């Protein structure tokens, strides 16, 4: 059992993550600023059920403070929907950057985008400069579109004396592996 939560508020300079995983009787929690070294705490609770109870209590507490589920990897059907939504949000953000107009709609779209795509923005978030140019947005949109268009082949087991058939499964792409290119302007 595991979860990855983010809290983003560009106006308040908040860009945090909180992650937890239950393994046997232990609950491991990591937290910190997106893109920075995480702090870690291991709760040794003695049995699996106590660890799950602690997990559920901490998750409820974080969600009550405004944290929302996200993920450090893009995969499967939920992630495809997330990728599509992220592209829609970039389409909302793009004219704001082009015209240098930073209204509430821009802030809302930016915050939602950063919840879907956890982003290392440094210690001080300047929402005027998250994107310097429309080319930065276009580059990110291009990368997100490439994730939608690139299924990974996977072999499927078949009867003896038959060759395996390749099927298209959604590609699992870790945001950590693309972050250097994805955030090239930061």
Residue 108's pLDDT is what? Answer: 95
Q: Rounded to two decimals, what is the model's pTM? A: 0.74
How far is residue 136's CA from residue 8's CA, in Å, rounded to a whole number? 20
Residue 153's pLDDT is what? Answer: 41
What are the CA-CA distances from residue 147 to residues 21, 24, 35 (Å)? 27, 34, 21
Residue 162's pLDDT is what? Answer: 42
Residue 158's pLDDT is what? Answer: 40
Phi and psi at residue 12, to the nearest 5°: -90, 10
Average pLDDT across each block of 10 residues of the chain; the chain has 186 residues. List them in order. Answer: 93 93 95 90 95 97 94 60 92 96 95 88 86 92 82 42 46 47 48
């Amino acid at each position: 059992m595991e979860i990855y939560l983010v809290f983003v508020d560009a106006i308040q300079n908040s860009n945090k993550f909180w992650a937890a995983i239950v393994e046997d009787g232990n609950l491991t929690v990591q937290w910190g600023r997106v893109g920075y070294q995480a702090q870690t705490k291991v709760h040794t609770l003695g049995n699996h059920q106590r660890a799950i109870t602690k997990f559920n209590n901490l998750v409820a507490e974080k969600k009550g403070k405004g944290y929302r589920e996200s993920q450090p990897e893009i995969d499967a059907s939920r992630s495809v929907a997330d990728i599509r939504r992220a592209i829609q949000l970039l389409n909302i953000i793009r004219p704001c950057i082009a015209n240098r107009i930073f209204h509430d709609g821009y802030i809302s779209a930016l915050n939602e985008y950063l919840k879907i795509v956890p982003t290392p923005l440094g210690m001080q978030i300047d929402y005027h400069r998250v994107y310097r140019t429309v080319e930065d947005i276009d580059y990110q949109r291009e990368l997100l579109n490439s994730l939608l268009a690139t299924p990974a082949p996977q072999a499927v087991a078949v009867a003896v004396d038959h060759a395996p058939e390749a099927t298209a499964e959604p590609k699992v792409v870790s945001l950590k592996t693309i972050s250097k290119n994805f955030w090239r302007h930061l």
